[in-house]
Amino acid sequence: MSNIEKIASLDLAVAVIGGGPAGLMAAQQISQGGHTVHLFDAMPSVGRKFLLAGKGGLNLTHAEHFDAFTRRFGTRQAELDPLLKSFGAQATRAWAQDLGVDTFVGSSGRVFPTDMKAAPLLRAWMARLRHPVQGAPVEFHMRHRWTGWGGDGSLNFSTPAGPMVVRAKAVVLALGGGSWARLGSDGAWVGLLQAQGVDVAPLLPANCGFDVVGGWSPFFAEKFAGQPFKTVAITVQGANREAAPLFQRKGEFVATATGVEGSLIYAASQVLRESLLRDGHAELLLDLLPDMPAERVLAEVSHPRGSRSLSSHLKSRLHLDGIKAAVLRECVPKASFDDPQALAAAIKALPIRLQAMRPIDEAISSAGGVRFEALNDGLMLTRRPGVFCAGEMLDWEAPTGGYLLTASLATGHRAAQGVLSFLQSE
C-alpha cells in the first residue's frame, strides 16, 4: 500500500498545513506535547521564504525592550502582546540555542545567528522534528496542496498522485500571506475561509516599495535606479500638519526605476499605504541633510558662489552631489534654484509624491488576513472548532528587523497550545 493510500485511510490526530516558521513551530510544540503531527505543504520543501529572507543574513528577532518591541505591531499590539510574552525575543534566541545555533546582537539591536545563515538553522530544526528528543517524529507530506473542506469536515488535497482526503481531530492552518507567491504564500486560502464565513481582512502589501507620481525622468531612472539615498530622513505628515508627524525617521533607502524602496521606506509603508488607500495619493518629505540644522543649510546655500556653478557650490558647501543632487533637479522647480530660501527648504523637506504601492507579490510581507476577532484566545476559528490559524495569514503586520519572524513563531506556539488544550478537552 502506498504512503498516500495509508494517509487517506487514516484519521489523524493533528494536521498542520503550511511549512513556514509558524507551521513548523506549531508542529514542534504539538509533537512535544505527545501527539503525532502530519505536516502538509504545497511546495517541494519547507521553509522556502524563510531561506530567502535569510539570504543576506537571517534576522531572527530584536533585542529592544519588550514594550518597544510590541509597539512595532501597531493596531494589533494588544492581540500580539500576550503571545509575545509566551514566546518572544528571548524565547526565540533560546529556541535557536537549543537547536545548536548561537546568536548575537548587532549594533542596531537586531539578533542574528553567529554565522548569519538560515540554512543551518533550518537543517537543525528539521532534524529535531524528524528525530525529536521527546514526542513522536513529525511526518512530512510535500507537494500536497490544500484545496478546502469536504462536506463532512475532511481536508481535501491535490497531490502528485491525485486527490486525497484527510480527516484530523485538529488542524493548524499556517498558509502565509500574499507575498512571494513563487515560494508558496499566494493567498489562495482567502476564498476558502471566506466561504466558511470567516472574517478575513483584504491582503495588502506591507514592507513594500512605491511608485512616484508620473515616474522618474528617463535620465534619473537610467542613471540612479538601484542607488541608495544614504543618511537621509523622511517625514510623513497627517492631515493636520500642525500635529505630530505620523512617521519620522532617519536611515536610508533606494531609488528604483519607478520609485522608492528599502528599509526606511518599508518602515513608513503602513502610513503611506493608508494614505494612498484613503486619499489616492501619498507624500513623504525627504530631508537630504538630517544632521545639519535648517539655518546652516540656508546660510550655506546663500553663501556667494562667485563663478562656480550651483552644482559645484552645493557640492563644496553641503557635500550634495550624486543621487541627492539629482533628486533635487528631479523634483524642484527651476525657479527655486535661484531662490536660496526655497532651495534650502527643499533640501530639508523635499516632497516626494507617491501614486501607488508596488504589487503585493513584490512586498516583503503582507497586511490583512484572518481577523483576531474570528479567533479565540488559542487562535481557533470560532466558526470551525478544531481549526487553528497561525503566522502571516493572521491580520497583523510589522516592520522588518526580526519582528515578522518572531511573531510568526509566537503565533505558531500559541496555536499549538490551543491544539493541545482542545485535544485534551476532547
Strands (E), 197-349: 200-206, 210-212, 228-236, 247-255, 259-261, 282-287
- What are the phi and psi torsion angles at 393 (to 5°)? -75, -10
Closest-CA residue to 260 (of 291, 293, 232, 290):
232
CA–CA dist 118, 106 (Å, integer): 16
**What is the mean predicted confidence (pLDDT) over 258-279?**
96
For residue 199, pLDDT over 50 is answered with yes
For residue 7, pLDDT over 50 is answered with no
Residue carrying C-alpha cell 493572521:
394
Paired residues of 211 in beta bridges? 259, 356
Within 13 Å of residue 164, how many CA atoms lie on the same side as its CB? Answer: 25
**What is the mean predicted confidence (pLDDT) over 238-242?**
80
CA–CA dist 147, 186 (Å, integer): 13
- Residue 10's pLDDT band, with cuts at 50, 70 and 90, is low
For residue 113, pLDDT over 90 is answered with yes
DSSP state of 402: T
Report the pLDDT value the prediction gives residue 292, as an integer from 0 to 100. 97
Average pLDDT, the chain: 95
Dihedral sign for Cα 105, 110, 111, 116, please: negative
Closest-CA residue to 409 (of 106, 104, 111):
111
**What is the mean predicted confidence (pLDDT) over 229-258?**
93
CA–CA dist 169, 420 (Å, integer): 11
For residue 2, pLDDT over 70 is answered with no
Report the pLDDT value the prediction gives residue 5, as an integer from 0 to 100. 46
Q: Look up the CATH architecture of domain 3-205+363-425.
A: 3-Layer(bba) Sandwich (3.50)
Domain chopping of the chain, boundaries: 3-205+363-425, 210-357
Cell of 309: 556653478
Query: Which amino acid is residue 328, in one-letter code?
Result: L
For residue 55, pLDDT over 60 is answered with yes
- What are the phi and psi torsion angles at 171 (to 5°)? -135, 135
- The CA–CA distances, whole Å, from 21 to 65, 100, 276 equal 23, 17, 31
Element of type H or E holding 187: none
DSSP state of 398: -
* DSSP SS3 for 192: helix
**What is the mean predicted confidence (pLDDT) over 393-416?**
97
- The CA–CA distances, whole Å, from 258 to 23, 68, 351 equal 36, 34, 16
Report the pLDDT value the prediction gives residue 11, as an integer from 0 to 100. 75
Cell of 53: 529572507
Over the stretch 291-317, which tens digit does the pLDDT of each residue have?
999 999 999 999 998 888 989 999 999
